[in-house]
Amino acid sequence: MKKLYSLFALVALLFAACSENASSISGSTSVPNMGNNLTPESPVLCSTIGVTDSLEAIEKGCIWSPDMWNRTSGYRVRTGYDNGTNTSGIWTWHTEPGTYENARFEWPGMATAEYDSMALADVIDKCDGSLCGKIVYEPNENEIDSEDASVAPSAYVEFYFAGKDSLGNIEEADVSAMKGICVEFSGNLSYLGLLPSDSIADLNDYFINGINLSTLRDPDISWPKTKEVCFAWYRFERYGSDNYRVPIEDVIAHLKGVRFGLDYGTEFNIVSIGRYHLPNFSTNLHPVDETCVPIGADSYTCDCEFSQYLDMVLKDNELIHFMIRAQETDLVSYSVLTNECIDRTCDSLSKQSHDAEPVGSLICENPFPVMIKCADGNSSESQEYIAKENDAKFDVTLEKGIAAVDSLFNYCMSLSD
C-alpha cells in the first residue's frame, strides 16, 4: 500500500502572557557574561552557526557552539545576542497572584529580585550549577475582585537574549539563526514560551507562543532524572489558534526572551539551554531514493522514541485518509446525521493525531535520520528508517488502521439510508 506521509500535525494550546514588569526587577550587572566562581572565563559565542575556525570567527573573536548554558558555564545564559550592556542571559523569577491563592518560590539558597547575574548565584551553586527550586501555593488573604472566572496563581523564570537598554527596557533580538532551542530539565515544568516585542505581543492579544512541557513528564521516573529535548522554532506556532496573528518568523525576529512556566507542588530543575541542532549525519546518510544526493537530515528519531514516532505517523495517516474520503464525497447530498458523524469522527481522529505527536526531538546517543534533504530540494526517507519500519511491520499496522477508518466512514454514510 502506498504510504501517505504528511507534515507534523499542528497542535493547539494557549498560554496567557503575564506582564513583563510583574516584579520589581531593575538594574544591571558588572559580572562578566561568561564568568563565575565555577570556571574561568570562556570565549565569546557567535550567534550564527558556520563561522567557527573561519576568518570571520577570528575577526569576531568568537566560536560557535550549540551550548548556551549548563552546569559549568556560570550564572548566566550565554546568548550571543548581548546589546553591549552586558545584561543578556540573566535569570529572573516572577510570580502572579491568583484569585484565592498566591505562588511562592522555595529556593535552596539565597535569592534576590534584582536584575543581576548574582541574584540567583547562591541558588545555582546550591543546585550544582543548574537552576532548581520548588513552587508553593498559599491562601491569598487579599482575594482579587474579579467578575471573571477564578484565576490560578502563576510562577515562572525567564531570561532575555539582548538584555536591557540604559533605561532598563528589555530589548529585542533577531534569533532566527538559532533555528530553535534545546532544553534539559526535570520536574514539573509547565511550558516553554516565547517573549516577543511589545508590538507583536499586542497583535497576538498577549497570548504566548509556547510548548507544553507537561506532556514530557514520565510518572515512572523520579525527579533527578532529566530529559533533553529540542524544539525547532516552527513548533512554537503549531497551536493554530486565531489568537496567533503574527507568523512565527516575525516573532523570533523580534524576540526578547524565553519563559519557563512552573507548576506547584514538586521540584523543578533547569539543567541546560542550547541552540537547536540536528545530529551530524553528514557521513552517514543513506536515502531510499537512488537519485537523491544527500546534503543533510530533515528530521531524526531515536530507538527510545521510535515506537512513539511510528504511532504518530499512523494516526496522522489515518486522519489524512479519512479527510481525503470526506473531500472526495459530495456530503451536501447526504443527511444532517451523516455530516454530523463525519465532523465528530474527524475531530476524534484529529485529537488522536495530536495526542500521538512527540512534543520535541529527544537527544539520544544513537539517533538515526528519518527524512533526508536532497541537493535538488526534494526529500527522501532514510534506509535506516524503512528498515525499522519493516521490522515493526508498519505496513500491516497501517492497513489495519486504514481499514478501521474506512469502516467508520462507511458507518457515517449509512446514516443517510
Query: What residue segments make up the domains of the chain, in order of their start?
Result: 15-275, 294-414
- Average pLDDT over every residue of 305-332: 84
pLDDT given for residue 146 in this prediction: 56
Coil, helix or strand at residue 322 = helix
Instruction: Concatenate the DSSP letters of all residues of 329-380 into one string.
Output: S-GGGS-HHHHHHHHHHHHHHHHHHHHHS-SSEEP-SS-EEEEEEETTS-EE
For 43-62, the pLDDT digits (tens) are 454 444 443 344 444 445 55
pLDDT given for residue 162 in this prediction: 95
| Helices assigned H by DSSP within 137-204 | 198-203
SS3 of 13-70: the string is CCEECCCCCCCCCCCCCCCCCCCCCCCCCCCEECCCCCCCCCHHHHHHCEECCCEEEC
Give the closest residue to 357 by CA, choosing from 246, 271, 270, 238. 238
- pLDDT confidence of 218, banded at 50, 70, 90? low
Cα–Cα distance, 48 to 33 (Å, whole number): 18
pLDDT, averaged across the chain: 76
pLDDT given for residue 30 in this prediction: 43
- pLDDT confidence of 242, banded at 50, 70, 90? low
Q: Which residue has the higher pLDDT, 266 or 338?
A: 338
275-312 in b/e form (b: 16+ CB < 10 A) is bbbbbebeeebbbeeeebebeebebbbbeeebeebbbb
The widest CA-to-CA distance across the chain, in whole angstroms, is 78
pLDDT surpassing 90 at residue 150: no
Helix (H) or strand (E) holding 135: strand 131-139
Coil, helix or strand at residue 170 = strand
pLDDT surpassing 80 at residue 7: no
Amino acid at 336: V
Give the whole-number percent of the chain exceeding pLDDT 90: 30
Please count the residues of the chain: 417
- Average pLDDT over every residue of 400-409: 90
Cα–Cα distance, 399 to 62 (Å, whole number): 53
For 106-149, the pLDDT digits (tens) are 999 999 999 999 999 999 999 999 999 999 988 877 765 555 55
Q: Can you give the pTM of this predicted structure?
A: 0.63
